[in-house]
Amino acid sequence: MGHNIGYARISTADQNPQLQLDALDAADCLKVYTDTATGTKADRPQWNACLGDLRPGDTLLIWKIDRLGRNLRDLIDIVTTLQARGVGVRSLTNGIVDTATAHGKLVFGMFALMAEYEAALIKERTEAGLAAARARGRKGGRKPKMTPTLIGKAQRMYDSRQFTMAEIAQSCGVTPMTIYRTIRTSRPATS
């Protein structure tokens, strides 16, 4: 018999985070993990601990689906991975995701198809945009940071044996790795 394990992600924009925690407490969770998000790329240590605690037969309970993934693709990946581990996922407030029911599986399958469709559309639009740009004589992609002038300067500094890679990089406004990729190195470099 599996357990209910709760996960809450509380953002700084939440007006009343206690609603989320109360709902999980009322759902008979053996344990509730809570992360406080301070930014879009915030580390989620409690989420990682929650993943480590989930066992086959357990059900992960979340307040709303937006607490689980940052976007639809992220949500699909998380739920698919948990399903493969034998872990169910249930959303308490919107009932959209409940992988233990036939309806939940159907809706989730539709989500997955929409995410694949969206990814295919983005790829198609990107390729069409690049083809149109090439037809106008433009190349896609970001301009390289190392111009021929900067490459020459970096090479001369390197060849003079008076500068470290870090100093050369700082002088050119790039990282040492960019310098390593750009110039010819024939001697052991100093850091």
| pLDDT band for position 98 (cuts 50, 70, 90) | low
Segment 11-21 shows an average pLDDT of 74
160 is catalytic: no
52: Cα within 13 Å, side-chain hemisphere: 7
Q: Which residues contact 108 (CB under 8 A, 6 or more apart)?
A: 79, 97, 99
Domain 4-101 of CATH type 3.30.110.30: no
User: pLDDT tens digit string along 31-44?
Assistant: 999 888 655 555 78
Distance of CA 67 to the CA centre of its chain: 14
In the chain, where the domains are located:
4-101, 148-182
Amino acid 114: pLDDT: 72
Q: Which of 11, 91, 171, 191 is catalytic?
A: 11
pLDDT average, residue stretch 151-164: 92
pLDDT attached to residue 42: 55
Which amino acid is residue 178, in one-letter code? T
Lowest mean pLDDT segment, chosen from 46-55, 101-110, 129-138, 144-153: 101-110
Q: Please, are residues 15 and 42 in contact by the beta-carbon 8 Å criterion? A: no
What is the Rg, in whole angstroms, of the alpha carbon atoms belonging to the chain? 25
As given in the structure block, the two tokens for residue 177 are 């790795």
d(CA 88, CA 54): 10
Q: Which amino acid is at 108?
A: F
Contacts of residue 41, Cβ cutoff 8 Å, sequence gap at least 6: none
Instruction: Centre a 10 Å sphere on the Cβ of residue 68 and count the other Cβ atoms it contains.
Output: 20
Confidence check: pLDDT of 96 > 90: no
pLDDT of res. 105: 67
Nearest 5°: phi and psi at 156? -65, -40
- In three-state secondary structure terms, 175 is coil
Of 69 and 183, which is predicted with more confidence?
A: 183
For the cut 60, the answer to whether the pLDDT of residue 145 exceeds it is yes
Residue 191, pLDDT score: 47
Pair 7, 46: CB distance under 8 Å: yes
Predicted local distance difference test score (pLDDT) of residue 120: 79
Element (H, E) at 78: helix 72-84
Q: What is the pLDDT of residue 56?
A: 92
C-alpha separations of 127 from 113, 119, 130, 133, 142 in Å:
21, 12, 5, 10, 16
Mean pLDDT of the chain: 81
